[in-house]
Chain A
Amino acid sequence: MKQLVILSGKGGTGKTTVTAALAHLATQTQRVVLADADVDAANLGLVLAPVTEESHDFTGGRIAVIDPAVCIACGRCAEVCRFDAVRPGSAYAVDPIACEGCAACFYECPVQAITMTPQRAGQWFVATTRYGPLYHAHLFAGQENSGKLVTLVKQMARLRALDDAADLLLVDGPPGIGCPVIAALSGADMALIVTEPTVSGAHDLARALGLAAHFNIPATVLLNKADLSPVQAEAIVAYCAAQSIPLVGRLPYDPAVAEAMVRGEPITAGDGPVSAALREAWARLQQQIFGDAP
């Protein structure tokens, strides 16, 4: 079983559109398990019409809670908190959004007014889709530990892929390069980085490639909206060539992509230019991931 993670650095370059299309193409010959590792803004389900089979609570970290009946308002908690999470008053109180759960106040409180309380931080789901099982999650607004939840979703999806003797675990990653991205990338056989020919796309592509290299994961690039700026597109192609990073394809800028999203269909369900380019890209990707014998 091979694990392919789709990343971008910059948001909005088309990761989820590409993931849904690859799921559609891969299942024509392979057994696939899907994981949506963007737990802040999980969109893969919007294209795959999942039917939820299981849902589970995700308990993130613990946060500090001050018992106002015990608090003597000495202010020691606020003094040791480095996250600006303690609000002074006749009894002190912890801002649950700012609290990082370090327990520094818990250990310092002279009257033991503080308890560390587990937080229900999100939910994760197992669903069936027309392309195979989908593991996805929702981190509640403003919660911490998105990296932990991504790791959990990926672990569950990976076990399912092993149980089902799947050929491919396809992971739709989050934007950025921080903790949830590192969690999404961890253990992958290959990272497909979807970029666009813009100054921001090029800048963020370099950082995403740097991250893949940092964790020794082979990377390959797909250029979306390739005809938006021929100058920027050539700059990205030249950059990839200079770094010896393969380019698996170029997709044209096409409003049909948004129309397919509105219909809840993968773009490859139709036969426009983006669909054709993705089919070619998938053929090359398969070579890169599986070699000659898929």
Chain B
Amino acid sequence: MKLAIASGKGGTGKTTVAVSLALSLATANAASAPLFLDCDVEEPNAALFLRPEISARRDVGLLIPVVDMARCTACGRCAEVCEYHAITVIGKQVLVFPELCHGCGSCTRQCPEGAIHEELNVMGTLECGRAETIEFFHGTLNVGEAMAVPVIRQLKAWAIPPDVGDRPVILDAPPGTSCPVVETMRGADAALLVTEPTPFGLHDLRVAVEVARDELGLPVAVVVNRDGVGDDGVDAYCAAESLPILLRIPLERAIAEGIAHGASLVDIRPEYQTKLAELWEAIAELL
């Protein structure tokens, strides 16, 4: 099963749950240890908790156009077909704006002179390694780059082999509900949404449910973190929407302090090992 762990609102505990779930599954079944993908390439934090030994690294980005001016006739076809205004022709000059380019290849294909070829514009890096038996992968968007989606897409393509079979795959999503979250969830079998019982948590949980369940058609389950902090709005909403709350993690200063120092939930409270392994089974039954 491939499980995406998301939230809408940031800072609700996605990485806390994802990391401890991976550790719990690795302990429960060492023969089929999980693949872990940190898809929050803008702010990748899972490595701070899993501390993997990195064994491979590669640059990623998009293929962007490079114009051979010896062959270019400045006909303007490239600019005409670019939906992103990433290439423009001024007089006899062609300007490419890499930060706007989505790497779709239209200009290259449409150029009547065959004057355009493509080169990799590096936007970030991917790394993989091992944390005990967990196979760990993460991507890092370079500071100043705008597009997270290509990094996430290539991270998934690199990490998840076609023959992954029944091996557990855990995808730690970025916050929000727009394209980077959708890219993380695409191809997952289910989504686990981590929320907190506050008005902000509830508002953003609703939007996350719209993406995961209504747009992508995924089975959805909920974890309530910092239980006891706010009000009962999240409980009422989950009951009304028939969303199963599979785990509650109470608001406890000792847990918050432990996580502040880079400890995992199962280090701080070992009883969560069983609870998280059971949570995985419960999600598998939703499929």
Main secondary structure of the interface of B (DSSP, over half): loop
Q: Within 8 Å of chain B (Cβ to Cβ): is A115?
A: no
- Give chain A residues whose Cβ lies under 8 Å from the Cβ of B40: 176
Q: Cβ of B135 < 8 Å from any Cβ of A? A: no
Return the CB mask of A164-189 against B: 1 if under 8 Å, else 0.
Answer: 00000000001111111110000000
Measured CA separation A125–B89 after assembly (Å): 37
CB of B261 within 8 A of CB of A229, answer yes
Question: Please, how many angstroms separate the alpha-carbon atoms of A3 and B175 in the complex?
Answer: 25
Report yes or no: A100 in contact with B8, Cβ–Cβ below 8 A.
Answer: no
Quick check: is A258 within 8 A (CB to CB) of the other chain?
Answer: yes
Q: Select which of B43, B144, B180 is within 8 A of A10 by beta carbon.
A: B43
Check: B93 CB closer than 8 A to any chain A CB: no
B11 touches A43 (CB 8 A): no
Q: Do A97 and B216 touch (CB < 8 A)?
A: yes
Known contacts A103-B81, A104-B104, A144-B179; decide if A261 and B199 are in contact (CB<8 Å): yes
Q: B43 contacts which of A46, A101, A175, A232 (Cβ < 8 Å)?
A: A175
CB distance from B156 to the nearest CB of A (A): 11
Instruction: Render B249-280 as a binary contact track against A, CB cut-off 8 A, 1 for contact.
Output: 00101001101111000000000000000000
Across the interface, which residues of A come within 8 angstroms of B210, CB to CB?
Answer: 141-142
Q: Which residues of B from 121 to 176 have beta carbons under 8 Å from A? A: 141, 143-148, 174-176
* B178 contacts A262, C-beta separation under 8 Å: no
Q: Give bound CA distance, A141 to B180, whole Å.
A: 12
Contact in complex: B215, A261 (CB < 8 Å): no
Q: Which chain A positions have C-beta within 8 A of B211?
A: 141-142
**Chain A: which residue is nearest B81 at the CB level?**
A107
What's the Cα separation between A165 and B174 when bound, in Å? 38
- Contact partner of B178 among A8, A83, A146, CB < 8 A? A146
The interface residues of chain B lying within 8 Å CB-to-CB of A204 are 43, 45
> Which A residues touch B178, using CB under 8 A?
39-40, 139, 142-144, 146, 180
Contact A177 B104 (CB under 8 A): no
Task: Tell me if B15 counts as interface (CB < 8 A to partner A).
Answer: yes
Query: Quick check: B179 and A82 within 8 Å, CB to CB?
Result: no
B106 part of interface (Cβ distance < 8 Å): yes
Choose among B10, B40, B45, B251 the residue with the greatest number of A CB atoms under 10 Å from its CB.
B10
Q: What would be 27 A-B contacts, judged by CB atoms less than 8 Å apart?
A: A11-B12, A11-B175, A12-B11, A40-B177, A41-B9, A41-B204, A98-B186, A102-B104, A103-B104, A108-B109, A116-B83, A142-B179, A142-B181, A175-B176, A176-B42, A177-B43, A177-B141, A178-B42, A180-B178, A199-B49, A199-B262, A200-B45, A201-B260, A228-B260, A231-B261, A232-B261, A259-B230
- In order of increasing CB-CB distance, the 6 nearest A-B pairs are A11-B10, A12-B11, A102-B104, A176-B42, A40-B176, A141-B210
